[in-house]
Homo-oligomer: A and B are copies of this chain.
């Protein structure tokens, strides 16, 4: 595996995170060629980057070579050979080069970094190199001929490989079939039958815990599934008991053993590298990888998440501790804006299951989608397992939103007077509000919305079935900023959410103090029913979410 990096790449923290981990993992097949030209966009890197990169990589446990003249091809070749020969640890070659060499005026300048050389400088450079300065897009015949020998060499090598591979396939039909399945990212038939299910239970189970049970059930079925956490394995429930860790023999510990190079990854406290490494694993192909951290730390890996969405990579984020429901860790750890901010990323599926049974369908659906990344947003706290009664199973998760509890008048062909909707841990609040409203004679439907993106993909018939257009009284409840919910609730609707940061307290206290309660949803429902009845209404206008900490009494 060859990687080429510039000064800028090695200034970015993510490369430090990944390189340190590569050293720990003794990745002997990795060679990093560092183009040490000491020029970045702000020109001479002396103002910002003066460290001894080679020494830093020695500190990471890498094999380090220096080539002082990047034009000395024999030295470069020798360094490449030595790097390949070193298989017990990753290798870096610090290759001193001159940017834009041998352009007479722009070599070794920031100008050559950000802009094209321009006609005059290109001509002057050609002159120095012994080319006709007026000739463009001209390649000498002997260069073409030499280059084409590489094609022949490649074809021969490929043919030889193919022969070996065909023979291997013939004598290993089972493994060949598995390889074929993994390469095409198809899933084994019936794998979903191994998924656990949970009986209705008011005390319930944390969705992170349910996720861990799903992983434990799937690991024997799906050898392509592997993953880990950025140092939060036990909190994220990402480590399957008894599975060996992806560490070399020398790095095994009392807690993590049984390897080397098993299926549980230890990323360390390095969320951005975790995201980038997951992308690399997905681009390599063949396996399905997941990685966990607290939802609030998804911010640190956001650059990598965006690239996964842009590249349509089927990686899965296990983001637990998904709201103020995490309690005492306080506002730095409590996601508020993250639901909206992640839903904003085009091509990312943001899935927030409301109970354990929704978790199982969510995981299944995520695995069935092999052309996009997804994040599972999971609770730290226990969530009741719903008694689905007549409404049936949690299958509706796969469609992004579904009727969890119909209004009492629906069985007799009636229409709900109001629709309550929510995600994750707030669906139980909608359910409790429904009980109150129904007790007051207001037919109330509850819709669980585990994934806005999956719902947006449904046809209009299904969308109108879940949210009948005539029912304009609607309330959403989610422990985050209101952004995005107006699309669902409309001008007559109400949004129950948070417009400020969290606080450190037991989660039940926070929900109460911050007004995420069934009483608040009931009040919002009554408002919305009135608004819907009194005409078309007006656009709601934006809400200001405030910085700083909420008032100690919980007043907003």
Interface residues of A (CB under 8 A from B): 7-9, 11-17, 20-21, 23-24, 40-56, 58-61, 110, 114, 229, 231-235, 245, 247, 251-256, 266-270, 272-273, 297, 299-300, 302-303, 306-307, 309-312, 331-332, 336-337, 340-341, 343-348, 372-373, 452-453, 455-457, 463, 467, 469-470, 472, 474, 481, 483-484, 486-493, 499-501, 535-549
Contacts and interface: CB of A to CB of B under 8 A. Distances in A.
A488 B483 CA distance: 12
A229 B42 contact: yes
26 contacts: A7-B269, A11-B268, A11-B270, A12-B17, A13-B17, A24-B46, A40-B231, A41-B233, A42-B229, A43-B254, A48-B270, A51-B61, A55-B58, A297-B303, A310-B332, A340-B340, A344-B545, A346-B500, A347-B546, A373-B547, A467-B541, A472-B536, A472-B539, A487-B542, A490-B491, A536-B537
Contacts of A42: 229, 231-234, 255-256, 266
Contacts of A470: 538
Given A49-B268, A487-B540, 18 more contacts: A7-B269, A24-B47, A46-B247, A46-B251, A47-B256, A58-B59, A307-B332, A310-B331, A310-B549, A341-B345, A344-B545, A346-B499, A346-B545, A453-B542, A490-B537, A490-B540, A491-B536, A491-B539
A251 B500 CA distance: 43
Contacts of A536: 472, 491-492, 535-537
A303 B114 CA distance: 28
Contacts of A11: 17, 20, 231, 268-270
Most buried by B among A44, A49, A297, A535: A49
B539 A483 contact: no
Contact of A344 (B41, B114, B340, B540): B340
A380 to B, nearest CB: 12
A285 to B, nearest CB: 17
A491 B341 CA distance: 23
Contacts of A481: 344, 346
Contact of A490 (B312, B332, B539): B539
A373 B487 CA distance: 28
Nearest to A306: B299
A538 B490 contact: yes
Given A47-B247, A545-B346, A234 B24 contact: no
A487 B546 contact: no
Nearest to A54: B59
A251 B48 CA distance: 8
A19 to B, nearest CB: 9
A55 B59 contact: yes
Task: Report, nearest first, the 9 A-B pairs whose CB atoms are least far apart.
Answer: A347-B547, A13-B13, A490-B539, A48-B268, A346-B545, A456-B544, A536-B536, A55-B59, A8-B269
A501 B346 contact: yes
A500 B344 CA distance: 11
B234 A269 contact: no
A511 B546 CA distance: 34
Nearest to A303: B299
Contacts of A41: 231-235
B348 A344 contact: no
